[in-house]
């Protein structure tokens, strides 16, 4: 692959840096050099030059928690509480999934994410070989885990076998994918099984994604002390939600270096509340941000999450306790730290994973350099995303997806959706017309 030189852009190196003018040189999948005063492209005879005048380049946005294939269930059960949503609507429909439906639903989700400036997504679901194929086809970086729950020994063994099959096929694939473990939650996986997952994950050095304290009723079914005994806190644990964590739990998360993924839209929509993010940051917990699945959000838009997070935390604490740099850090460097990857900064040696904003859009005015970071969090919205690069390749550019054929995806997604809904409803009420 030729080197790429992105010229004449405004850039933000990371959350604590001001906006500055610079050129960025990319080689293969990495950032090779950043030139704050620009560089004469003649020095790079072999580099492709991309004029980025009028654009703002930032580190790619990191979605630390999702279930990509749940795009199939978007708009179903919008007005239900968490238990009705999960047990009466999601779980029965998930029984009807297959490799094909999961692949096209994942493709659709990842296209949406790419178009909204996301360059990495962490995922937990089923049919993970199909999900990995979708990540690779769209060009999205990710950490994928097979969701694990315990019903009986046979089912548990099958799910662990599927985890290992995906691990063996896709861990490290194209320098794009990582495969980890995904015990769904402590209320669906007994403690002795969590201990088994913890020991496997430690042996492989793999990450673990798990829902923890998403809803108030979970506090009656397990404690942090139960979890600690399983060894799960001693893995590379990414804990989704932690809405119900108290101060004692927050101190444990900090002491054990557990990453928390805050999913503000999903938590608000399912009536689970607002996580104590400011208290977590004060205790130096590594907090990141995620969309969760499209069935509980319903969009896959980290910029939207950042704004809702900032607003809901201002409401829970006080407006002065929520800083723009903290919000940006959660979507950039904290995500890189959580997954142990060179992501979330524009620096030599980091992945060439970038988001490009068009700052000629109305919501980016006034074009005062001091205010561009504020515009990203509070004003811009994902419609200002001009391009998204992962591993040095454009996966979204000016309204198009250069690596895939879009029309096929919509058609096959819609076919899967109709099959699942008709089967779930036991008749043919959905024609798709
Ligand atoms: Zn989730």
Domain harbouring 354, CATH code: 2.30.40.10
Express each pLDDT in 118-141 by its tens digit. Answer: 999 999 999 999 999 999 999 999
Is residue 256, in this structure, part of any structural domain at all? Answer: yes
Computed over every residue of the chain, the mean pLDDT equals: 95
Q: How far apart are CA 226 and CA 248, in angstroms?
A: 14
Same domain, yes or no: 357 and 311: no
Is residue 222, in this structure, part of any structural domain at all? Answer: yes
Is residue 352, in this structure, part of any structural domain at all? Answer: yes
Give me the DSSP letters along 220-232: GT--HHHHHHHTG
Q: Is the pLDDT of residue 428 over 80?
A: no
Express each pLDDT in 183-227 by its tens digit. Answer: 999 999 999 999 999 999 999 999 999 999 999 999 999 999 999
Same domain, yes or no: 393 and 251: no
Same domain, yes or no: 370 and 224: no
Same domain, yes or no: 77 and 203: yes
Give residue 361 CA to ligand 1 midpoint distance, Å.
33
Is residue 10, in this structure, part of any structural domain at all? Answer: yes
Q: Phi, psi (5° rounding) for residue 15?
A: -55, -35
Residue 300 structural domain: 61-338
> 14: how many CB neighbours lie within 10 A of its CB?
18
Is residue 370, in this structure, part of any structural domain at all? Answer: yes
- Answer positive or negative: Cα dihedral of 240, 246, 249, 253: positive
Is residue 425, in this structure, part of any structural domain at all? Answer: no
Instruction: Answer for the pair 192, 183: CB distance below 8 angstroms, yes or no.
Output: no
Is residue 280, in this structure, part of any structural domain at all? Answer: yes
Give residue 203 CA to ligand 1 midpoint distance, Å.
25
**What integer pLDDT is reported at residue 72 of this predicted model?**
96
**Orientation of helix 324-331 relative to helix 302-316, angle to 10°:** 140
What tokens were used for 281?
A: 């940051």
**What integer pLDDT is reported at residue 433 of this predicted model?**
47
Same domain, yes or no: 46 and 96: no
**Orientation of helix 128-138 relative to helix 99-115, angle to 10°:** 40
- Answer positive or negative: Cα dihedral of 396, 399, 403, 406: positive
Domain count, the chain: 2
Same domain, yes or no: 389 and 363: yes
Give residue 423 CA to ligand 1 midpoint distance, Å.
25
Same domain, yes or no: 296 and 153: yes
Residue that is last in its domain, among 314, 338, 362: 338
Express each pLDDT in 68-107 by its tens digit. Answer: 999 999 998 899 888 898 889 999 999 999 999 999 999 9
Give residue 52 CA to ligand 1 midpoint distance, Å.
36
Rg of the chain over all Cα atoms, to the nearest angstrom: 21
Give residue 395 CA to ligand 1 midpoint distance, Å.
25
**What integer pLDDT is reported at residue 430 of this predicted model?**
59
What tokens were used for 314?
A: 């201002």
Same domain, yes or no: 166 and 126: yes
Is residue 390, in this structure, part of any structural domain at all? Answer: yes
H-assigned helices in 231-296: 247-255, 264-269, 277-282
Same domain, yes or no: 216 and 86: yes
Give residue 211 CA to ligand 1 midpoint distance, Å.
6
Where residue 302 falls among pLDDT bands split at 50, 70, 90?
very high
Buried b or exposed e, range 128-147, using 16+ CB within 10 angstroms = bbbbbbbbbbbbbbbbbbbb
Q: Which CATH number does the domain housing residue 136 bear?
A: 3.20.20.140
Same domain, yes or no: 81 and 222: yes
Mean pLDDT of 345-363: 97
Give residue 124 CA to ligand 1 midpoint distance, Å.
7
Give residue 145 CA to ligand 1 midpoint distance, Å.
12
Mean pLDDT of 411-424: 94
Same domain, yes or no: 138 and 23: no
Give residue 99 CA to ligand 1 midpoint distance, Å.
20
Where residue 429 falls among pLDDT bands split at 50, 70, 90?
low
Instruction: Answer for the pair 388, 60: CB distance below 8 angstroms, yes or no.
Output: yes
Same domain, yes or no: 53 and 65: no
Instruction: Answer for the pair 47, 3: CB distance below 8 angstroms, yes or no.
Output: yes
């Amino acid at each position: 692959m030729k080197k790429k030189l992105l010229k004449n852009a405004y850039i933000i190196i990371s959350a604590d840096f001001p906006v500055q003018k610079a050129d960025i040189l990319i080689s293969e999948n990495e950032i090779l050099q950043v030139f704050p005063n620009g560089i004469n492209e003649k020095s790079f005879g072999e580099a492709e030059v991309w004029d980025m005048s009028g654009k703002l380049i930032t580190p790619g946005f990191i979605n630390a928690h999702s279930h990509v294939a749940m795009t199939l269930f978007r708009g179903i059960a919008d007005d239900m509480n968490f238990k009705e949503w999960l047990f009466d609507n999601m779980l029965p429909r998930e029984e009807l999934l297959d490799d094909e439906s999961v692949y096209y639903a994942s493709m659709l989700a990842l296209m949406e994410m790419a178009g909204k400036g996301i360059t990495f997504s962490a995922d937990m679901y089923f049919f993970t070989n199909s999900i990995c194929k979708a990540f690779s086809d769209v060009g999205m970086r990710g950490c994928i885990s097979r969701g694990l729950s315990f019903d009986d020994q046979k089912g548990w063994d099958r799910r662990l076998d599927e985890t290992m099959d995906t691990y063996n096929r896709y861990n490290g694939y194209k320098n794009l994918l990582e495969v980890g473990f995904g015990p769904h939650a402590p209320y669906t996986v007994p403690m002795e099984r969590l201990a088994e997952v913890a020991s496997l994950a430690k042996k492989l050095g793999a990450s673990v994604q798990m829902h923890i304290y998403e809803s108030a009723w979970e506090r009656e079914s397990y404690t942090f002390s139960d979890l600690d005994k399983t060894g799960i806190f001693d893995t590379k644990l990414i804990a989704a939600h932690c809405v119900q964590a108290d101060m004692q739990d927050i101190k444990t998360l900090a002491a054990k270096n557990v990453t928390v993924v805050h999913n503000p839209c999903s938590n608000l929509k399912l009536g689970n509340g607002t996580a104590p993010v400011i208290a977590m940051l004060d205790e130096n917990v590594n907090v990141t941000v995620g969309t969760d699945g499209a069935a509980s959000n319903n969009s896959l838009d980290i910029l939207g999450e950042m704004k809702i997070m900032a607003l809901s935390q201002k409401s829970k604490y006080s407006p002065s306790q929520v800083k723009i740099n903290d919000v940006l850090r959660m979507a950039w460097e904290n995500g890189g730290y959580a997954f142990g990857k060179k992501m979330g900064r524009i620096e030599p040696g980091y992945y060439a994973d970038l988001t490009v904003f068009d700052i000629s859009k109305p919501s980016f005015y006034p074009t005062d350099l001091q205010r561009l970071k504020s515009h990203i969090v509070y004003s811009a919205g994902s419609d200002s995303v001009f391009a998204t690069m992962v591993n040095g390749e454009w996966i979204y550019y000016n309204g198009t997806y250069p690596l895939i054929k879009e029309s096929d995806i919509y058609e096959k997604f819609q076919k899967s959706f109709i099959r699942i809904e008709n089967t779930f409803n036991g008749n043919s009420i959905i024609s798709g017309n």
